[in-house]
Chains A and B, each alone.
Chain A
């Protein structure tokens, strides 16, 4: 008797996802996870918990050995490499702990790379890149190269690159892992702002301090979801509260 009106499918729908690596090591052992549009959640767990594998599967960089994965309504298992790539290009944005900016390329060009496989013309990609850098507060640093930026600024460039295509889902893998606490806080604040503007964001982290700043926390341990705090659907079901 949910009163949430679904005009679009959930951004992430995992059902019974299992991932076994050759040799019988099971990284995930039947994970169910649904992320609705507009959520900001943490996937939190210690190293070895399977959260990285979960990130790969949600990001369609890897396929599960069992279970179903739907991202933005698409069944990942039914898609070949070309379609999966298109899915990533159009629906998913990634932010990495190590930024992975291209050295020797300006901030604007780095962000524009995020649209390279979108089919937009070059001038349009650069224009949108400029806008995205404005959004993350680096409008003054379009021409700076990565080595001329601080760690926090680099991560903001990387976030701009991830959101420039307005993906349905932003996956941030330990986005503050390589930053000092002040820069880390600024980055988390930026993610909050982007979420307020409508972005769906999943932050993968081992740091409970980070995860506790977010409205929903999915705890992973030994390949299973052990706790899901602040799940809006569960909350609305249990409390009858139309969010």
Chain B
């Protein structure tokens, strides 16, 4: 007669019921939830912050690089192979560079052997590390520099004793606005303007620039540039790079140095982007400890809830359903920690970015990776306690507590 009985089949729990049973233990002990999720939160927050801060720094450098361009080359005098002396560039070096196919802008500077001071009362030994240089009119455009205040040298002002200061030079001299005067080689020059920051040409930032003509007429400049700045079409950079030495000095091209100042920034961006493995490892250790904490909490939870497990078994929970319940609880615990950690890490990155004026970047892969890590940890940490719970004898609930 038993053959005609309908087949027994355990009912499936809906996802909502799974979540409900999985969170039952947590609802009763909020403090324990917070403490055991904390370890995971700290681990994830560390990793997100490490990745986020390095990504933000890199983003900032890349943005700057984008603005400054990677198509500028700097030509300087090289040394003679035999004598070891500097071989100055030809007088018309800038013109020769300008004739190379693809070159768009050329600017030149010529170093002058003077110091710049606020007044004649200051000894001319005190240079403040500021160079006095003759500058061609095209220099500003070639550098893509902006004036922080005042104006750049032009055909007219370049003939008179006027000077434009790099931002570092201005700061060192204590000049804050155009119109003030500085003392160069026994003569006062009027400050026309101050150039904004120049990450690609730090020499210019530390210079006082006078017009090409006034340098020749009043400061004994021989007209031979010491540095030529050149900007070309992006696609032509390599070709131009190869052509420059022979164009500038056809007899001894090896005496001409050509450098790409943006390559330094690019390398820096790559370094900033490569986050510190040490810190990342530290976050990983915190995460591991957090996982152990969750496993520990789960084992205690199983021990404490023997009666609940027995009760659930007696009202019809299968072993699998008990396992799912505790793995869900473990996943919720670590997931909670992970979510809190992602928020914490993002906030930490945001605070750092805001305080150092860089863009706030949290790579999506870091968030996804953090969540995936917590899910793996939650499953691993919950597996053993869950299996233990499911193997508990269902007769437990019948014993009076």
Which residue numbers of A lie inside 8 Å of B, CB to CB? 9, 52, 55-56, 59, 61-62, 70, 72-75, 79, 81-83, 85-90, 92, 94, 96-98, 100, 102-105, 113-114, 116-122, 161, 173-174, 177-178
Contact = CB atoms under 8 A, between A and B. Distances in A.
Contact of B316 (A117, A177, A178): A117
B326 interface: no
B401 interface: yes
A79 B2 CA distance: 12
Interface stretch (B4-12, B126-134, B168-176, B276-284): B4-12
B120 interface: no
A56 B316 contact: no
Given A52-B398, A73-B2, A96-B398, A90 B319 contact: no
B90 interface: no
B398 A83 contact: no
Listed from nearest, the 4 A-B pairs whose CB atoms lie closest are A89-B316, A119-B11, A117-B316, A85-B318
Contacts of A74: 2, 5, 8
B320 to A, nearest CB: 7
A85 B395 contact: no
A103 B28 contact: yes
A97 B318 CA distance: 23
B1 interface: yes
A117 B395 contact: no
Given A88-B314, A94-B314, A81 B398 contact: no
A162 B2 CA distance: 25
Interface stretch (B16-24, B72-80, B203-211, B224-232): B16-24
Given A70-B2, A86-B8, A117-B10, A100 B317 contact: no
Contact of B319 (A70, A81, A96, A122): A81
Interface string B297-317: 000000000011011111111
Contacts of B318: 81-82, 85-86, 117
5 contacts: A85-B316, A85-B317, A94-B398, A114-B315, A117-B13
Nearest to B398: A173
B394 interface: yes
B32 interface: no
Contacts of B317: 85, 89, 116-117
Q: How large is the interface on B (under 10, 10 to 19, 20 to 34, 35 or more residues)?
A: 35 or more
Given A82-B9, A85-B321, A116-B315, 15 more contacts: A61-B395, A62-B393, A73-B5, A82-B318, A85-B10, A85-B317, A89-B315, A94-B314, A96-B397, A97-B400, A98-B307, A100-B308, A105-B24, A119-B11, A173-B398
A62 B307 CA distance: 16
Nearest to B12: A119
A95 to B, nearest CB: 10
A122 B318 CA distance: 19
Nearest to B394: A61
A116 B2 contact: no
A83 B8 contact: yes
B314 A61 contact: yes
A98 B398 CA distance: 8
Contact of A100 (B10, B307, B316): B307
Interface string B6-44: 001111111011000100100110000000000000000
- Main DSSP-derived SS at the B contact region: helix
- Which of A119, A121, A178: most chain B CB closer than 10 A? A119
A161 B21 CA distance: 17
Interface of B: 1-2, 5, 8-14, 16-17, 21, 24, 27-28, 307-308, 310-321, 393-395, 397-398, 400-401
Contacts of A104: 27-28
A55 B8 contact: no
B398 A61 contact: yes
Nearest to B4: A73
Contacts of B398: 52, 55-56, 59, 61, 94, 96, 173
B10 A59 contact: no
A72 B2 CA distance: 9
Contacts of A105: 24
A177 B400 contact: yes
Contacts of A114: 315
Nearest to A177: B400
A102 B10 contact: no
Nearest to B319: A81
A89 B397 CA distance: 15
B17 A116 contact: yes
- Which of B308, B320, B398: most chain A CB closer than 10 A? B398
A79 B319 CA distance: 14
Contacts of B307: 98, 100
Contacts of B10: 82-83, 85-86, 89, 117
A46 to B, nearest CB: 16
A218 B46 CA distance: 66
Nearest to B24: A102
A85 B318 CA distance: 5
B11 A89 contact: yes
Nearest to B314: A94
B1 A94 contact: no
Contacts of A98: 307, 400-401
A126 to B, nearest CB: 12
Given A88-B316, A173-B398, A122 B17 contact: yes
Contacts of B5: 72-74
B19 to A, nearest CB: 12
Contacts of A59: 314, 398
Contacts of B397: 94, 96, 100
A61 B396 CA distance: 9
B11 A118 contact: yes
